Structures are given as C-alpha cells and as structure tokens.
Amino acid sequence: MNECYYDKRMDFFYNKTNTDTVDEWTGPKLIVVLCFGTFFCLFIFISNSLVIAAVVKNKRFHFPFYYLLANLAAADFFAGIAYVFLMFNTGPVSKTLTVNRWFLRQGLLDTSLTASLVNLLVIAVERHMSIMRMKIHSNLTKKRVTFLIISIWAIAIFMGAVPTLGWNCLCDITACSSLAPIYSRSYLVFWSILNLVVFFIMVVVYIRIYMYVQRKTNVLSSHTSGSISRRRTPVKLMKTVMTLLGAFVVCWTPGLVVLLLDGLNCTYCGIQNVKRWFLLLALLNSVMNPIIYSYKDDEMWGTMKRMICCSSEDKSQDRRSSRIPSTVLCRSTDTSGHYIEDGIIQGTICGKGDLGDKENS
C-alpha cells in the first residue's frame, strides 16, 4: 500500500519532482512580473466592474446575451482575485505552503478558466437559439438565464475542486507532475485535452453560426427594406463573441499545451522556462475582454463612459434642463439617438410630446 503525504509542506513535493522555485522568481524578473501582475489585476477589477454595472444600469442590456456577457465579466473579475492570491503565494513562498493552501491557489485558477469556458459555451447556445430564428435576442426567460449562470459556477467550482477531491498524487509520488507537484500527470493530460477539444468545438460552431448569419443577412438585405443597422446587429453581436472566443483561445492555448507536455512527462521540452510567461498571457485575457466589449459595442462604451464621468455630466444636465424647454429637450434626445435612463424623468419630460405626436398621426 502506498504511503500518503497529506501532512507534508510543499517543499517536500518540489524536492521530489526536482522543481526549482527560487532562482526563477527572484531579482528583476520577479519585480517585473509582480509590477505587471499588479497593474493588470487593478485594471481587471475596475474594468470588469464597469461592464457588470453597465449591464445592470442600461435597460437596453436587459437581455440574455448581455446577462451572460456580464457573467463572463464576473468570471474575469474572479480570475483577478485568483491572480492576486497567486502573486502572494508563489515563488520562494510556494515551498512554505501547506497542501491545502496550494490546492486552493491552483483551484482558484482552474475555477476561473472553467467559468469563462463554460460561459462561452452557453453564449454559443444562446446565439444559436436566436440566430436560427433570425432574432437579435433569444427568448430565454430571466429564470432560465439565472439557472444557467448558477450552473456555470457550479460546474466551475466542481472542476476546480477535482484534484482536492482525490485526483492527485499525494499517495503516489511517482505520478506527480513538475509544474504542479501534487497534481497527477494523468489529471493534467485529462484537463488540458478536455479544454483544447472544447476550444476546437467552439471555434467550429462559432464559425458555422457566423457564416449562417452572414448568408442570411445578405439574403434578407436584398428582399427587405428594413434599416441597415437592424440587419447588421446580429452580425455585430457575433463578431463581438467571436473576438472574445479568439482572444480566449490565443491566451489560454499555450498554457494548456505546456500542461499537456508536462502531463506526458516531456523532460526535454523546457516547460519550466516558459510557464511564467504563459501564465501572464492567460492573465492578459481577462484584461482584453473589457476592451473588446467597449470597442465592439458603442452602447457599452457610451454607458461605461457616462458612469465614469457621471458626476460632472449630471451637473451639466441639470443646468441645461433648467434652461431648455421640455419640447426642445425631447426633440434633441430623439434626433441624437440617446435616451434617458430614468423612466420617471422620461415620462414627465417627454410624455406630453409623445401623446401629441400620436394624436396628430
């Protein structure tokens, strides 16, 4: 019967697997990694909080697609928490960790990856449901969307806890990997292949959906007289999702390939020399997503910008509303394409003008 080492500290497992954690994480390299990591994490927290707040505040975003997009931002926010925990428990500190604390460190990273991956899968299903009916948004109810979001996090937490639940090498030291000294190599092979296969499936599905949308849009544009912007909206949403998926695949694939090589016990691949940089590349994905949201969606960027400058804009709007007649204000909001968020203000200012227009028509 194999002996188990639950009470050992991580230095025991690092020494057994000949993994060096000191030389790589000291000096200028450590300072550069910590500086970049701190800046990126701060940006992740602020930007993804703005995305979530924008979806909550703007009533035009109260649809399943944007709820799932906000959940993807929440997964990125969670990834920021995981990276902060990693920064304070890595390098020379790694050898002083207990087994449970090390499991928590890696489990947070695995949970954030799974949450983002499953969320993108659910978005693919939602886009398929709406696009097959040539609608901008699907008919998913808020209860179903809430159930999907809860399910996403339940799956993510479970997958992050799998090694802690028993798929580890604490009772079989010979099966331990070098990058993750208490993870079994068989688990790393399973984990990396599973994610890479899901990446490939999602890329194929999204490409097929995008081609279908493009073809249908071209057909409808030649037979209908609807507005150009309305016909292009499904295509714009698909471009946003495909950009998110592309960034996710590019940022996470190198790290998963390294884990796969480690699981296959590739001793001559030099994986220890690149693991730190591939981890930063994975961190970069959570930085890129809010930029993609705002760049690809003008409404999202406008809402985020209004929230950032809310105090100064509120004061200027109050001054303008006290000087401009209500009819002029209503016309200006209609022609500029902007709208008032507060339904009460909108009803009191523009209600009479709308009723007059209906009677005249």
Given a contact cutoff of 8 angstroms between Cβ atoms, the answer to whether 72 and 116 are in contact is yes
Residue 206, Cβ density class (10 Å: 0-12 exposed, 13-18 middle, ≥19 buried): buried
Task: Judge residue 348's burial from the number of C-beta atoms within 10 Å of its C-beta, 0-12 exposed, 13-18 middle, 19 or more buried.
Answer: exposed
Q: What is the 3-state secondary structure (H, E, C) of the chain?
A: CCCCCCCCEHHHHHHHCCCCCCHHHCCHHHHHHHHHHHHHHHHHHHHHHHHHHHHHHCHHHCCHHHHHHHHHHHHHHHHHHHHHHHHCCCHHHHHHCEHHHHHHHHHHHHHHHHHHHHHHHHHHHHHHHHHHCCCCCCCCCHHHHHHHHHHHHHHHHHHHHHHHHCCCCCCCHHHECCCCCCCEHHHHHHHHHHHHHHHHHHHHHHHHHHHHHHHHHHHHHCCCCCCHHHHHHHHHHHHHHHHHHHHHHHHHHHHHHHHHHHHCCCCCCCHHHCHHHHHHHHHHHHHHHHHHHHHHCHHHHHHHHHHHCHHHHHHHHHHHHHHCCHHHHHHHHHHHCCCCCCHHHHHHHHHHHHHHHHHHC
The pLDDT profile of the chain, 361 residues, written as one tens digit per residue, is 577 888 888 888 888 776 655 445 566 777 777 787 888 899 999 999 999 999 998 888 888 888 999 999 999 999 999 999 988 888 778 888 999 999 999 999 999 999 999 998 888 888 777 776 666 666 778 888 999 999 999 999 999 999 999 899 898 888 888 888 899 999 999 999 999 998 888 888 888 877 877 777 677 666 555 544 455 556 677 777 888 888 888 999 998 999 999 888 887 777 877 877 888 888 888 889 888 887 777 788 888 888 888 745 555 555 454 444 433 333 333 433 333 333 333 343 334 444 344 444 4
Whether the CA torsion 100, 105, 110, 111 is positive or negative: it is: positive
Structure-block tokens of residue 114: 């799974």
- Smallest Cα–Cα separation from 343: which of 60, 147, 66, 152? 60
- Using a cut of 0.85, tell me whether the model's pTM lies above it: no
In the numeric block, the tokens 């081609």 are attached to 211
